[in-house]
Structures are given as structure tokens and as C-alpha cells.
Amino acid sequence: MDSHLKAKELLEENKTFIEKPNKQWFLKVFILAVLICIGLYALVLQITKGHLITGMRDNVVWGVYIVNFVFILGLSYAGALIAGIFHLARVEWAKPLQRILKLITVFALIVGPVYILLCLGRPERLLNLFLYPRIQSPITWDLIAIMTDLIFCIVYLYFTYIKDFALLRDNSANLNLYGWRKKLYKFLALGYQNTPEQKKLLNRALDIMAAIIIPTSIIAYSLLAWLFGMNLKVGWHSAMTAPFFVLSAVYSGIALLIIIMWIYRKTQRLEKVFTDNHFLYLGFSLVILSLFYGYFYFSQYITDWYNIQETTNRLLSKYMDFSQYGIHFSVAIFMVAFLPSIIIGVPWFRSINSIAITSVFVLAGLWVMRYLMIVPVLETPYLPMQDFRESWVHYSATWIEWSLTIAGIAICVLFFVVASKLAPIIPISEMLEKKGENKFVIFYKTRRKLSKG
Amino acid sequence: MKDKKSNSRRKFLSTGLKIGVATAAGGLAAAKILEEPPKKSEKIKVLTTDGTVIEVEKPANDCKINPCSPAKGIEARKGIPGRSFVMVIDLAKCKNARKCVEGCQKGHDLLPDQELMKVYLMKDNPESEPYWFPKNCFHCDNPPCVKVCPVGATFKRTDNVVLVDADRCIGCKFCISACPYSARILNWENKETYASNDPDYSPETQTPGQHGVVSKCDFCPDRAREGKLPYCASSCPMGAIYFGDKNEDTVTNGEETLRFKELIKERVGYRYLEELGTEPNVYYLPPVNRMFPYERGFSNLSEEKKEILLKSISKP
């Protein structure tokens, strides 16, 4: 009973941002819609005029689109992985973050694969992937992984919403909502009444889904990494590729989580929910991940560099050459490997805002690192580059690619804006469950009692 | 209850069987009807050595391999039986005349910028003399490009040839990035002669081309059927490109025909980037005892292009 009252209170506190949208909300949606429309215009141009209007050519066949694909899917898998671990480990302070993480997972998983379609020369033949599938191809692995993961993540996300939909249904009389939304909540809550039986079943389902989602996301992202690792290319053809990808994904996921928390805290006044401690804990994990990132990168680099091969030499010298990728590389590696240790590690610089701004830099730096992992490698084949056309030798993305990149981000943000209007961005019911209330399903039966009592 | 169930299953099976037999019989009959009528052989008049004119059957246009027309659809995936095509390029003879590039472009209806055969300027070490290096697809026995294709649009045939089925290709470009020899290109630009699902299209000729799909050197198996050399080999003025059959152990540049194994053994033929384990079917003869100094190859290139080439072979 106590928790029910508290839920009402919390809902009351946060009702402004799920109630009927105001002008400001529509303005947000309008701006995002404009960005998406510019992207759609670029897409129409690309389809009618062909891929020649992008920066991609015979050597650099994968450009910004694939960078986005890798980056966005990384965020998705990170969201699933972190949410699953937090849930299974029953991390109490992380409860308010659960919904944001799961929303990142699903939205990124929907938007990410679109970039693969943009990259296809003949997108209308996509069905061939199902008509003539070849299991030898990493693209088929990826296809299976993404589809599996998408289904699991949507189911998981929905399960975590059920309790809140029920809460909204029961309290809809106090809220200023459109009539159809009340009906929608009733439908989506699936008759959940919070009876002990229902509660037990739902909690069990959540535990199982969390346990499934952790390996699924690691496997799926490794398969994506092997899209590159399976190429006989200097810079990609390495055993480090998959673990490095997974690490970068988790790193970018934490950074994005901090940014989203910060935005909601600033705009929706959620200081009580997203506390200073959240920023500190996640900030410190950002520091640890940045050191891991630096370690992984250094380990890869020094192995390549110590006994350098000819083609590797050509590739690495591009990162060091300030007329080519030197500036991008040194700035990006500083942002992802050193900046968190300085800004978050040194107490004098540490604050909520500085942690959030560092996260923005980290996220941008990771995007650039992905770009540097893909484009210069494609520009460094075994044979010397002897094309006389400059655009064939050096890749530079055109406005078509950039506007579609922005449109993709806008779609993700739009999803977030709509989702946080539909239901609270914090899992209210879950947050109010008492510590130890949910028994473990996965680790429930231990052979011996670990401790008495 | 149980009896009824099994009974109905038996009934179902027997009906299914009957339908199956009927379909098969119908199919056979249809195939019989669709079979082409036997062709009337054309006769030509020939003068014999003793002065009389006789009529003999006209040979079907110099056809060496049956069927003579380029294979289409599923047939194109099988390969010409008993053949094992191989190419040998004599680097000592190449002077960057670029006739192979042009011949190939003409034959495959390519744009002036699209090169399935490319000529590189190479330099193996700082001390050695640069040399010209014509490079097409190596038609590897362990092709990295075929492995990664998600739809089986690119395939390896029994006659060593690796082809692309442009009707199936989705343009994901994975094969382009997987190929360590940069042998593949994409049709980035649209062209008037391009057509999708054209009935005349054969992966062996790659014409008519298509927009947004991958293209590559095809070893011209359609020309081999007619007993002709690939476009590049037949248009090389120096006879640097030999094409032939490993099973017959012969390669020819149109003027001289050589034993393949002997040639590779005696001239120490090698395969480019052997260490990658791709098992190429294009062999190179080292550029020793050259017929021309490499500078001769710059004669049909502008000064600017010459500088780009020389810069690309200098160490970073």
C-alpha cells in the first residue's frame, strides 16, 4: 500500500511531461521533422541519381554510412548489455536508468540497420538476402544477429513497461490526457493488476530476458565486428577487432547514458531521480573504460608498429601524417583515452556539467575513431593507389551523407521525445520495489546456502 | 480415434504422392514440347584440290566449345567442362601501352574510367628498377570475395573463373573490400546501355551492364567458347599476356603457344601476394631482360600523372 501511494506521488511529480503536449513539445517535433525531411530529400536524390553523389568510390566503398551503422548499433548493444547487467546484479542505484538504456537499445537497433540499406547499390534487391542466403557470409551472420536481437530487445523493453502502463491506466483519471491514450494504456497493460502471481511471473520473465540479452548483444556486436575482421585487410584482419568493438560499444553507451540523463535532468528537473551520485558513478566507469580503451588501442598499435610490415607502415603513417589523418587521430585519441582521466579523474575539474561535457567529447571522439578505423584502412589496399582521380583516392563525405547522418540522429531523438511523452522516462513501478523484493531466477538455486539466515 | 487419425494421414500421403507423380509427368511432357527442333545444318561450297566443287557442312562459327553461346542463369555457374583457365603475364614485355585496358573496356562496354584490367607501376625495393604491372582479377582458387557474398551473386566455377551475376548482386560492396587485389569495381554511374534483367545478359559477357552492381574481370569465357583469347590478351601489342588451359598445359598470346608448366618452371613464374593464401590463377614472369626501359611507359601519360605514379611507389 505504501509503495502504491509513493507511486502516485512520483507520477504526480512527473506528470507534466507525460500529460498533453504543449507548444514547446510540438516545436521540438517540428524541428526534428524538418531535419528528417532534409535527409529524405537527400535520400531521394541518392536513389534517383545513383551513388555517385555520395563520396564513396571503388576503394572506399564504405563511408560515413557504415561508420554510423557501426556506431549506432554499438550504442544499442551497449544499452542492452548495461541494462541486463544492472538488472541481474540488482544494482539499486541504477534502477532509474533502466528505461533510458532499453530505449537506447531499441531505437538504435531500428535506426542503425537503415544505414546499411543506404549503402547498398541496389536496395530494392534486399529480399535476395532471404531468397539466396549464404551462411558463409558475415552479412548473413549480422542479419540473423540483428533480427534476433531486435526481437529480444523489443520484448524486453515491453516487459519493463507493463507495470508502468498498469500504473498509468489506474491513475489516468488524475492526468490530463487524450481519451485514446487512456484506452491505449488499458490495452498495453494487458490486464496487469500487480497480484503476487502476476508479479512473480513478470519478474521472472524480466530476469530471463536480461540473462538472454547479455550474451546476445555481445555475440551480435562481435558478428558485426567480423564484418571487418573477416576481410584480408591490414588494420582489420586482427583478432582484436571483436573485443575492441565490444569495449568501444560499452564505452559509447555509458557516455550516451550520461548525456541523456543530463538532458532530462536539466530540462525536466529530475534532480531527485538522476542524482549527483549517478553522474559520479557513471563518470568513474567512464574513466575506467577510457583507460581500457587506451590499453586496447596501445596493445594493437604497438604490435603493429614494433615489427612493421610494408602495408601496415603505409596505414599507420597516415595516422601520424598531419596532412592526412594526423589531426583527426591525435584529437580523437586524446578525447577518448585521456580526457575522462583528466576531467573526471582530477577532483578540481569534476562536476556534473564537466562529466556531461566530457561524455559529449567522448561520444564524438569515438565516432571519429570509428571513422579512422574504417576509411583510412579502405584507402590503404595492398596495391599502391594509382588512380588519377582525386575523389577516387581520398574519401570525403558529401552533404548527402551528412544530411542523412543528421536525419538518423534526428529520428532517434524523435523516438525519445515521443516515448518520454507516452510513458515516464523513469521506470516508476520498478524504482519503488523494495530491495530484495524480487527473488533471483537465474542464480536462485545455489547448491549450498551461501550464508546462514 | 487413433485409427481414424492414421487413416487420414495415409489418405493424405497417397493423395500427395499421386499429385506429385502427375506433376512430374506433366513437367516431363512440357519439357519435351519445349525442346528445340533439330537445327538444319547449313552447307557451304568448297573447292577441292582436284578442282571439283563439293558441299560440306558449315562449321558453327569457329566454335571450339559446346554450347558456343555464353551461358546464362544457372548454367553460367557451372563452368566449361574439362577446362582450367590460367593466365601468364610476362612483365618483361609490358611497356604500359594500355591497349589491354582499352580492349577490355571496349569489349565489356565500360566507361572510360572503369578499368577491369589496370596497369600499375611497381617497385619491389628501393634498389630495383620500377616495372609495369598489368593486373586483372586473379580468379583465385580460394577467393575471399566469394566467401563474403551474402547472396551468392559472385561464384567460383569449375573452369577456375570467378564471375558476378549482376541480376542477383545487391551492391553491398563487401566483395570489393574483401578482395586484397582491388580487382572489383562498382558501376557507380548509370549508363544508357545498362539494363536490369535483360534476356541477353550473361555473367560471362557482363553485358548489358547494370547500375549499382559489382563488376570485375571475367576471363572472357564467352570468347574462349569461340576459340578466341580474352580482350586484353588479344589486344596487347607486345604479346605480354598469355592465356590458356592448365589441363591442356598450354598458354598462348596469339603468336606463340607455350607449355604452361615449363614456362613457369623455367622463367620462375610467381603469383602476386602468394602469402595471402588465395591461390591465384594469374602468374607473372619476373621483369628480367626487359624489352624496354620502364620510362617508355610514361610516353602516353601526362607529366602530372607520371608524378602521381612515381610518388605512389616511393616509401612513406
Q: Which of A197-211, B68-82, B167-181 has the highest mean pLDDT?
A: B167-181
Task: For residue A139, give how far its alpha carbon lies from the nearest alpha carbon of chain B (Å).
Answer: 6
B151 falls within a domain = yes
Amino acid sitting at position B253: N
The H or E element containing residue B17 is helix B2-34
Is A125 close to B168, i.e. CB distance below 8 A?
Answer: yes
pLDDT of residue B1: 43
Task: For residue B155, give how far its alpha carbon lies from the nearest alpha carbon of chain A (Å).
Answer: 12
Contact between B86 and B160 (Cβ < 8 Å): yes
Contact residues, chain A, for B150 at CB < 8 Å: 129, 133-134, 137, 139-140, 143
B214 falls within a domain = yes
pLDDT of residue A373: 93
Q: What grid cell was written down for B214?
A: 559489382
Task: For residue A299, give how far its alpha carbon lies from the nearest alpha carbon of chain B (Å).
Answer: 23
Inform me whether the pLDDT recorded for A444 exceeds 80. Answer: no
Interface of B with A in 126-165 (CB under 8 A): 135, 144, 147-153
Give residues with Cβ within 8 angstroms of B176, minimum separation 6. A58, A61, B145, B184, B185, B186, B214
pLDDT of residue B63: 67
B47 falls within a domain = no
| DSSP 8-state assignment for residue B111 | -
A390 confidence band (pLDDT: 50, 70, 90): confident
Of A125, A232, A381, the CB nearest to B170: A125
Q: What grid cell was written down for B104?
A: 577490355
Cβ-based contacts under 8 A for chains A and B: 135
Of the residues A130, A232, A241, A325, the best mutation for testing chain B's interface (the one with the most B CB atoms within 10 Å of its CB) is A232
Three-state SS sequence of A106-118: HHHHHHHHHHHHH
Nearest CA in chain A to B187: A121
A48 confidence band (pLDDT: 50, 70, 90): confident
Residues listed for chain A: 453
**Domain containing residue B300:** 73-309
B89 falls within a domain = yes
B258 falls within a domain = yes
Q: Does B77 touch chain A (CB under 8 A)?
A: no
Task: For residue B122, give how far its alpha carbon lies from the nearest alpha carbon of chain A (Å).
Answer: 8
Check the CA dihedral A48-A50-A51-A55 and report its sign. negative
In whole angstroms, what is the distance from residue A38 CA to residue A60 CA?
25
Residue B84: name the closest of B226, B224, B181, B228 by CA: B224
**Torsion of Cα atoms, A8 then A13 then A15 then A18, to 10°:** -110
Give residues with Cβ within 8 angstroms of A71, minimum separation 6. A252, A366, A367, A370
Is A134 close to B150, i.e. CB distance below 8 A?
Answer: yes
pLDDT of residue A389: 86
Of B169, B174, B188, the CB nearest to A52: B188
In whole angstroms, what is the distance from residue A40 CA to residue A236 CA?
32
B175 falls within a domain = yes
Omega into B67 within 30° of 0, i.e. cis? yes
Interface of B with A in 184-203 (CB under 8 A): 184-190
In whole angstroms, what is the distance from residue B219 CA to residue B268 CA?
23
pLDDT of residue A177: 74
B257 falls within a domain = yes
B32 confidence band (pLDDT: 50, 70, 90): very low
Contact residues, chain B, for A388 at CB < 8 Å: 304-305, 308
- What is the residue extent of each domain of chain A? 19-231+399-434, 234-380
pLDDT of residue B119: 94
Omega into B208 within 30° of 0, i.e. cis? yes
Over residues A379-403, the mean pLDDT reads 90
How far is Cα of residue A388 from the mean position of the Cα atoms in its chain? 40
B44 confidence band (pLDDT: 50, 70, 90): low
Interface of B with A in 6-45 (CB under 8 A): none
Of A317, A385, A389, the CB nearest to B312: A385
Q: What is the pLDDT of residues A243-270, one digit of tens each?
A: 999 999 999 999 999 999 999 888 877 7
Task: For residue B96, give how far its alpha carbon lies from the nearest alpha carbon of chain A (Å).
Answer: 14
Over residues A201-211, the mean pLDDT reads 88
Residue B101: name the closest of B130, B131, B136, B132 by CA: B136
Q: Does B276 touch chain A (CB under 8 A)?
A: yes
Task: For residue B195, give how far its alpha carbon lies from the nearest alpha carbon of chain A (Å).
Answer: 13
Greatest CA separation for chain B? 93
Inform me whether the pLDDT recorded for B20 exceeds 60. Answer: no
Over pLDDT 90: what percentage of chain A? 54
Inform me whether the pLDDT recorded for A49 exceeds 90. Answer: no
pLDDT of residue A289: 95
Over residues B74-95, the mean pLDDT reads 92
Is B153 close to A128, i.e. CB distance below 8 A?
Answer: yes
B249 falls within a domain = yes
Q: Does B66 touch chain A (CB under 8 A)?
A: no
Task: For residue A32, give how far its alpha carbon lies from the nearest alpha carbon of chain B (Å).
Answer: 29
Interface of B with A in 110-129 (CB under 8 A): 113, 118, 120-122
pLDDT of residue B33: 47
Inform me whether the pLDDT recorded for B43 exceeds 70. Answer: no
Beta bridge partners of B55: B45
Inform me whether the pLDDT recorded for A294 exceeds 90. Answer: yes
First to last CA, chain A: 27
Check the CA dihedral A244-A250-A255-A259 and report its sign. positive
For B164-192, give one letter per residue: b (16+ CB within 10 A) or e: bbbbbbbbbbbbbbbbbbbbbbbbbeeee
pLDDT of residue A250: 94
ipTM value of the model? 0.88
Q: What is the mean pLDDT of chain A?
A: 88
Q: Does B170 touch chain A (CB under 8 A)?
A: yes
Inform me whether the pLDDT recorded for A118 exceeds 50. Answer: yes
Nearest CA in chain B to A317: B316
Is B188 close to A136, i.e. CB distance below 8 A?
Answer: no
Is B312 close to A384, i.e. CB distance below 8 A?
Answer: yes
Of the residues A117, A127, A137, the best mutation for testing chain B's interface (the one with the most B CB atoms within 10 Å of its CB) is A137
B15 confidence band (pLDDT: 50, 70, 90): low
Task: For residue A109, give how far its alpha carbon lies from the nearest alpha carbon of chain B (Å).
Answer: 20
Contact residues, chain B, for A227 at CB < 8 Å: 174
Contact between B89 and B81 (Cβ < 8 Å): no
In whole angstroms, what is the distance from residue B69 CA to residue B80 CA?
12
Inform me whether the pLDDT recorded for B239 exceeds 90. Answer: yes
A1 confidence band (pLDDT: 50, 70, 90): very low
Q: Which of A123-137, A261-275, A383-397 has the highest mean pLDDT?
A: A123-137
Give residues with Cβ within 8 angstroms of A213, minimum separation 6. A80, A81, A83, A84, A152, A153, A156
Task: For residue B22, give how far its alpha carbon lies from the nearest alpha carbon of chain A (Å).
Answer: 27
pLDDT of residue B251: 94
A216 confidence band (pLDDT: 50, 70, 90): very high
Query: How many independent structural domains does chain B possess?
Result: 1
Inform me whether the pLDDT recorded for B47 exceeds 90. Answer: no
Range in A16-25, A197-206, A212-221 the model is least confident about: A16-25
Task: Compare A417 and A272 and report the one with higher pLDDT.
Answer: A417
Is A58 close to B186, i.e. CB distance below 8 A?
Answer: yes
Over residues A15-37, the mean pLDDT reads 85
Interface of B with A in 94-113 (CB under 8 A): 113
pLDDT of residue A429: 80
Over residues A448-452, the mean pLDDT reads 58
In whole angstroms, what is the distance from residue A172 CA to residue A174 CA?
5
3-state helix, strand, coil in chain B (%, to 5): 30, 20, 50
Q: Does B316 touch chain A (CB under 8 A)?
A: yes
Over residues A198-217, the mean pLDDT reads 89
For residue B157, what is the domain's CATH number?
3.30.70.20
Nearest CA in chain A to B278: A232
How far is Cα of residue A423 from the mean position of the Cα atoms in its chain? 20
